[in-house]
Structure 1
Amino acid sequence: MNKFPEQLKRLRKNNQMTQDDLAEKLFVTRQAISKWESGDSTPDLTNLIKLTDIFNVSMDTLVFNSETKSKVDTTEFVFDPKRNRYVRRFGKMNFWDFLSGYWWTILLMIFIIGFFATFWSGSPR
């Protein structure tokens, strides 16, 4: 289900622009904007990028109508348009990535193991 025509019209109206105003900014005809909003045609990639700049929205918001807060952690994941899904921003997590983010868990485990090792050793000092 393509939500782009509805999203484009909503964004244009929220920014108090007419089809003529938007067409002038994109250097296209008003009829082109009308066709995009009716779903009869779609803009090319260059115009999509210009639309994201004009409305100050992401490509996800413009094309996929994902204006609601997504449950994706954008500090760790980024949308890959080639795969049409979110992928890790820095590739797969390795041990060092885990350690840099969760170093405190390692210290806690060492402390707990050390505490129980001295407790169960039973050797008085």
Structure 2
Amino acid sequence: MNKQVITSDQAPAAIGTYSQAIKVGNTVYLSGQIPLDPATMEVVEGMEQQICRVFDNLQAVAEAAGGSLQHIVKLNIFLTDLSHFGLVNEVMARYFKQPYPARAAIGVASLPKGVPVEMDGVMVVG
């Protein structure tokens, strides 16, 4: 198996023992992104801005792997408050075109750095 580590300085550096993404063949496994500004490594303020920052971070890693958000086939969304589900849908519509990826939205008790949203995904390129 040929695993390739994918990194982008346009997305936050890993805050743990993981890679931003791993590519195997034409499949890319995108690690969870939280709303960290890659320049400051600080959490951005405001729920809508946080959702946008997560999508921007995923986009940066997707591009580093030779793809885009449109190449994501499976997206997992983790929310500490599912009342933000509608806002996630609204923001997601700005970043994705049909056909949308398969998706899960999961309510969780907590996320790293106390953020309210995290997303990861699987992308197919080439």
TM-score normalised by structure 2 residue count = 0.23
RCO comparison, higher one (Cα < 8 Å, 6+): 2
Larger Rg: 1
Structure 1 or 2: more helix by fraction: 1
Structure 1 or 2: more strand by fraction: 2
